[in-house]
């Protein structure tokens, strides 16, 4: 059962960016802009690539958070 606690804790930690107003504003701005891309395949490719970048930068940030906590 300790694993469930860890999963819950990890879920809370992973929501840090979704509570940042600037991040959410810039994400919405990106989505509004990409909505104007007429070619659907290209629009989907752009969004998919942005999501890959966002996922990676989130992983990097969370690794840094974890390393910082371990050093305390």
Span 14-50, pLDDT tens digits: 688 889 999 999 999 999 999 999 999 999 999 999 9
**What are the tens digits of pLDDT across the range 59-68?**
999 999 889 8
CA–CA separation, 58 and 10 (whole Å): 13
Eight-class DSSP state of 61:
H
CA–CA separation, 48 and 29 (whole Å): 16
pTM for the structure as a whole: 0.72
- Cβ atoms of 23 and 17 within 8 Å: the answer is yes
């Amino acid at each position: 059962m300790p694993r469930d606690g860890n999963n819950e804790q990890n879920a809370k930690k992973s929501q840090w960016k979704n509570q940042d107003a600037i991040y959410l504003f810039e994400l919405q701005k990106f989505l509004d802009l990409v909505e104007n891309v007429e070619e659907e395949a290209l629009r989907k490719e752009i969004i998919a690539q942005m999501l890959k970048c966002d996922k990676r930068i989130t992983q990097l940030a969370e690794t840094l958070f974890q390393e910082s906590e371990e050093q305390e």
